[in-house]
Amino acid sequence: MLFTGFKRCCYPYQKFDSVDGELALAKVLEDDDSVLKWMKPASGKFKIEYQNGNWYEPDFVVETNNVCLLMEPKRADEMDSVTVQAKQKAAQRWCYYANEHAAQTGGKRWQYVLIPHDKILLNTSVTGLVARFATQEKSL
């Protein structure tokens, strides 16, 4: 099912794989004044290699007033899976190198935020989610 009516999203229509994860996060992003814009990257447009030629595509890319975020809502019972952890490590590595570039060019820092779906509440702020669930970027 397609959704529309977003003000901060880069695209007029969005498809969500989960109501209590992705759609709930989109609502939080829409309601948070610190969010400048957000998007769900089109398939194949934002790829991070995570394991022997396998690619990970983050669910959300978000720009706030002071930081850029890769945000990944995930079912709570999948948070510790080997695949989720491998993707997290790859995203942390991507953020590390993006932050090196940002430091040289005056750009915003990047952070990876892996969020259990049952912690995304409508009264949650992006700042609160980042404070609780952002992970540190890591080099190789």
Residue at 60 is within a domain: yes
Distance CA 66, CA 108 (A): 6
Residue at 140 is within a domain: no
Query: Mean of the per-residue pLDDT values for the chain?
Result: 94
pLDDT confidence of residue 40: 96
Residue at 88 is within a domain: yes
Residue at 64 is within a domain: yes
Distance CA 16, CA 25 (A): 10
User: Looking up tokens 């991507």, which residue turns up?
Assistant: 94
Mean of the pLDDT values across residues 58-86?
Answer: 97
Four-residue CA torsion sign, 82, 74, 139, 135: negative
**Tally of CB atoms within 10 A around 123:** 7
Domain that holds residue 29: 2-135
Residue at 28 is within a domain: yes
- Whether the pLDDT of residue 28 is over 90: the answer is yes
Of 23-27, 52-56, 70-74, 126-130, which range is least confident?
52-56
Of 7-11, 51-55, 100-104, 125-129, which range is least confident?
51-55
Residue at 44 is within a domain: yes
Q: Do residues 41 and 70 touch, judged by C-beta distance below 8 A? A: no
Mean of the pLDDT values across residues 126-136?
Answer: 94
Residue at 83 is within a domain: yes
Give me the number of domains the chain comprises. 1
Output the CA angle 88-110-17, nearest 5 degrees: 50
> Tens digit of pLDDT for each residue in 38-67?
999 988 899 999 988 899 999 999 999 999
Residue at 111 is within a domain: yes
- Whether the pLDDT of residue 6 is over 60: the answer is yes
CATH value at residue 110: 3.40.1350
